[in-house]
Amino acid sequence: MRLTYYTDYALRLLLHLAATPRRRWTVSEVARIWGISRHHLTKIAHDLARAGLVRTTRGKGGGLELARDPSTIRLGELVRRLEPDLHLAACFEDGSDCRIREVCGFRTALLEARAAFLASLDRWTLADLAAPAAELRAALGLSTEGAPATTASKARGR
């Protein structure tokens, strides 16, 4: 199973916000740091805000921040919400023309695998992924305050 880029980018944005809870981020900043499309991230941020996962603030000092405590956001919930479908094979789709669909052992095995995959993700929260926040910020080139390290260094006169 492979997650879509949409889900991947949404998880990156949420992880970024969880690892830097005392700062609001613009879509452009996050896109630049992660090296992903600002256009795609804008759409994702909008959808996450509509879903109540991200809070947006307009104007000076505005930006994106988590709207919920990261310990309440389960990865299984995110994948179910973000993935357009979780069909592992064509026979999962309504109207499938597979002649053995109802008795196929492979379909049954895939259904069981999908359930196990989602159950495993349900045990993890966004807070679990963001727990090594200092390491995440360092890997992203951010200061302890969450600002890009180069900007923080300039502000201190370095």
84-93 pLDDT tens trace: 888 777 777 7
pLDDT, average across residues 6-27: 94
| Domains of the chain and any CATH numbers | 5-149 (1.10.10.10)
Give just the sign of the alpha carbon dihedral 145, 48, 54, 46: positive
pLDDT at res. 148: 66
DSSP string, 14-43: HHHHHH-TT--B-HHHHHHHHT--HHHHHH
